[in-house]
A and B are shown apart, each in its own frame.
Chain A
């Protein structure tokens, strides 16, 4: 996947494309999933943050390649579905595929290195993720899932805040050019 991501990154030249140490991307994704599952044991606190979403956004924005971004999102989403108890596989997959695509597309056009830009981007993509998830649930499962609530707003704010910190940490995994 790393190779694929690198290959995809070469197509974008107008914005700086970041590269990471070998195995860093899969490892970070794996850890995000594990940590998310681990934190789930602590109930509401874990639900405030969506680590797989943050990882999807971060690598999508950093690599600035829609193809690699969507595949990474799909892989993370499907894995997240697989770890969940009652989600049919593909629910988070579709949502995170879309998020990965949009994040990569946005990252290819604007600079998202600034913390405020990152905060805003995560905030927006969180809700975009939620909308896609809700639409998928409504259409495929015929289950009424809210697109926006105050709790989701709180979650998005917390996730965006955590994202700013996490993105700064993940920046350290970048290979110097």
Chain B
């Protein structure tokens, strides 16, 4: 088609070619400002936009490509870091757990060292009652460890409960806030006796305290030893609230032991009174006035 067009307009095509040749001839001779030859000026002016577009395109494509690669790498890196973070979190939880366990065990050890005269057995809480109204738990010590019924279970903070069922390698502990529980108790300050009973609520109550007895919130309550299970003067808790009622006051106790978060406990193999030889964290008995032991 172009051949036909050129042959049809042959003279005109030749004229254009001839002029073009002479224009190029001129371009090789003429120098513009800055002593640049016209042909070079034209060439640069013609090619520079193309180069600019090419450079821009390559830059954009390169940017997109590197962005894509970077994004892919970032995604992979992100997944790897997320995985690493999860592992570290898990590891951190393990370490925290180990640290907490270490603290608990250290506390138990200190308590045990403080009472060398008392025979006690460290136990780990391995389960709890499936009945929500029953406040019991299971420990990993049983008959094989010389555990039997009605042994006191405590923590360095205070009384936990007593052994109610014994199995070869485990035992069931009735907590002091269970409805079936009863612990001989007394006020550390007034030495007024009563019984700590469970109510089914998280907090046990102090029963048999007449309304004339002055009871204040925060008063410390200790074991009295009258139940022949718990040694005398072990901390049970503090008065949380006290209301006058008929025939006795209704006294709610904030347990000293954290009954809802028990993990390690001590089983007292004897009812011998705990007389601290040397204590870092003296039990409540240390804060109470001297009294007569049973």
Contact = CB atoms under 8 A, between A and B. Distances in A.
B35 to A, nearest CB: 14
Nearest to A77: B22
B22 A74 contact: yes
Given A89-B26, A101-B11, A140 B19 contact: no
Contacts of A141: 30
Interface string A117-160: 00000000000000000001000111000000000000000000
A101 B19 CA distance: 11
Given A66-B11, A70-B15, A140 B22 contact: no
Given A140-B27, A140-B38, A97 B22 contact: yes
Contacts of B18: 70-71, 74, 97
B29 A90 contact: yes
B90 interface: no
A91 interface: yes
A67 B30 contact: no
Contacts of B19: 94, 97-98
A107 to B, nearest CB: 13
B15 A97 contact: yes
Contact of A90 (B10, B11, B26): B26
Contacts of A97: 15, 18-19, 22
Contact of A94 (B14, B22, B38): B22
B32 interface: yes
Interface residues of B, number: 16
Interface string B250-287: 00000000000000000000000000000000000000
B88 interface: no
Query: A interface, by DSSP: helix, strand, loop or mixed?
Result: helix
A142 B14 CA distance: 26
Contact of A98 (B10, B15, B32): B15
A78 interface: yes
B29 to A, nearest CB: 4
Nearest to B26: A90
A94 B11 contact: no
A88 B26 contact: yes
Contacts of B26: 88-91, 94, 136, 140
A163 interface: no
B69 interface: no
B106 interface: no
Nearest to A71: B18
Residue in B14, B22, B25 with the greatest tally of chain A CB atoms within 10 Å: B22
Most buried by B among A71, A90, A91, A141: A90
Contact of A67 (B10, B22, B32): B10
A93 B22 contact: yes
6 contacts: A66-B11, A70-B14, A89-B25, A89-B26, A97-B19, A105-B11
| 8 interchain residue pairs of minimum CB distance | A66-B11, A90-B22, A90-B26, A88-B29, A90-B25, A93-B22, A94-B22, A101-B15
